[in-house]
Amino acid sequence: MTPSTRRLFLKATTATAVSYSRILGANDRIRLAGLGCGGRTRYLLSLAAQQGADVVAACDVYEPRIDLVREKINPQAAGYVDYRQALERKDVDAVIIGSPDHWHVPMTIDAIQAGKDVYVEKPVSHNIEEGKRLLEVAKASRQLVQVGYQQRSWEHFQRAREIVASGKLGKITLILASWYQAYTEFDPATPFEAAKIDWKRFLGSAPDQPLSPVRYFRWRWFWDFGGGHLTDLYSHWCDVIHWFMNEDRPTEVQSMGASYAWKFAECPDTISTMWDYGGRFAVAYNGTLHCHLEGGTLIFRGDKAMLRITRDGFAVYPEGVIPREKTQYPEPEIQMRSLEDGTVAHVRNFLESIRSRRPPNAPLEAAVGAADAAHFGNLALRRGKRLRREEV
């Protein structure tokens, strides 16, 4: 154990003792703080509140977002620009983190060391090294970490995994992933009160740079703060693939992409990436931000059947029924529809885990694996070469 790791271990162990000396709020109500209160975090906090949790604090570098938490969820919530002030509160049991990606690991580590359980949005890390450090800290504590891969709490994804595990599809050699979203370009007229943002605090570990509303509102598409398609969208499917296939270490990757319509973004608006998993199977991802038909789709191609799954449901189509080269699908042998957002069940699972101390559905180690595969693809894209694992 290195000296720095030992210090992290001691801090986490101390925080654990503090955490277990706390008692949940009245009537076993879980008290939450939101760290980075943009739209996604506010949605998660609202779901938690609907399920009986108390939102006692909201933290954001942009004050209007704190006001929105008070307006929409709890008028009495305390507001902080520095999230560490919320972590010092003894009446905070857990946090929900929906900050830009480059803050995920620092906030999660600080929360763990303060004795708080954590729900953190994907990707859990901003680079591969961060993921390693986070695992060290988490393993040295007893805090729970749920990552925002809500597919793991979605009933039809759970059922589809059972089908894959049963061998119904036969030998799977190719998995096709895609995500199409019609993002609007940044509108310079978007209301933004520059005097109400702590820009230096937003930057955090990122290089110093002038205040930029487009980088604030569209941070996912700038390398300093996010990772574009592969971390924002594909990593959801990557987690499902790893979960279904019991494999989380791609050995080789190649990637191409460019911004064909967006002129403000650094990350590509259109991308195609392919990973090889040790000669066992290949994964191909295609995505663009200029259309939305099909949305997000995942296809597992086996020699006995094909599974097509989305957030709306899934269908299993048998091989050998339709004549070769014909393009229509046969009637599905198995199908299931979903009319709910799995995020509801995912938040419920987090709250239940806090009470029971049982591991949540989307564990940290698996989430680090999904994030690492996305980072692996981005490294190949940015280096402009086919990349092997040992080169990372």
149 part of a folded domain = no
| CATH number of the CATH domain containing 130 | 3.40.50.720
pLDDT value for 39 = 96
Q: Looking only at Cα atoms, what is the longest distance across the chain?
A: 66
Same domain, 133 and 161: no
Segment 358-386, tens digit of pLDDT: 999 999 999 999 999 999 999 999 999 99
pLDDT value for 5 = 39
H or E element, residue 35 = strand 31-35
364 part of a folded domain = no
Structure tokens at 346: 């995912």
DSSP for residue 292:
-
Span between the terminal Cα atoms of the chain, in Å? 23
Q: CA 216, 270, 188 angle in degrees (round to 5)? A: 30
Same domain, 247 and 123: no
Cα torsion 215, 221, 226, 232: sign: positive
| CATH number of the CATH domain containing 176 | 3.30.360.10
Same domain, 104 and 189: no
Radius of gyration of the CA atoms of the chain, in A: 21
- Could you say which of 91, 108, 143 is where a domain stops? 143
Give the residue with greater pLDDT, 188 vs 212: 212
CB 44 within 8 A of CB 343: yes
360 part of a folded domain = no
H or E element, residue 274 = strand 270-277
How is 304-326 classified by DSSP, letter by letter?
SEEEEEETTEEEEEETTSSPTT-
Average pLDDT over residues 30-46: 98
14 Cβ neighbours under 8 A, 6+ residues apart = none
pLDDT at residue 38 above 50? yes
312 part of a folded domain = yes
353 part of a folded domain = no
- Could you say which of 111, 143, 175 is where a domain stops? 143
pLDDT value for 183 = 81
Segment 278-291, tens digit of pLDDT: 999 999 999 999 99
352 part of a folded domain = no
Same domain, 206 and 94: no
- 119 forms bridges with which residues in the sheet? 96, 146
Segment 110-131, tens digit of pLDDT: 999 999 999 999 999 999 999 9
Segment 336-351, tens digit of pLDDT: 999 999 999 999 999 9
Structural domain span for residue 29? 3-143
139 Cβ neighbours under 8 A, 6+ residues apart = none
Domain count, the chain: 2
Same domain, 123 and 193: no
Identity of the residue numbered 88:
E
Same domain, 71 and 120: yes
Split at pLDDT 50, 70, 90, the class of 234 is very high
Distance of CA 43 to the CA centre of its chain: 15
275 part of a folded domain = yes
Same domain, 216 and 314: yes
383 part of a folded domain = yes
269 Cβ neighbours under 8 A, 6+ residues apart = 183, 221, 258, 259, 260, 261, 262, 288, 289, 290
Same domain, 112 and 174: no
Round to whole Å and give the CA distance between 9 and 84. 19
Distance of CA 310 to the CA centre of its chain: 17
Same domain, 166 and 114: no
The proportion of the chain whose per-residue pLDDT surpasses 90, expressed as a percent, equals 89
DSSP-H helix ranges across 212-286: 213-217, 228-229, 235-245
Segment 240-283, tens digit of pLDDT: 999 999 999 999 999 999 999 888 899 999 999 999 999 999 99
- Could you say which of 83, 116, 143 is where a domain stops? 143
Same domain, 186 and 88: no
Same domain, 107 and 159: no
Same domain, 97 and 233: no
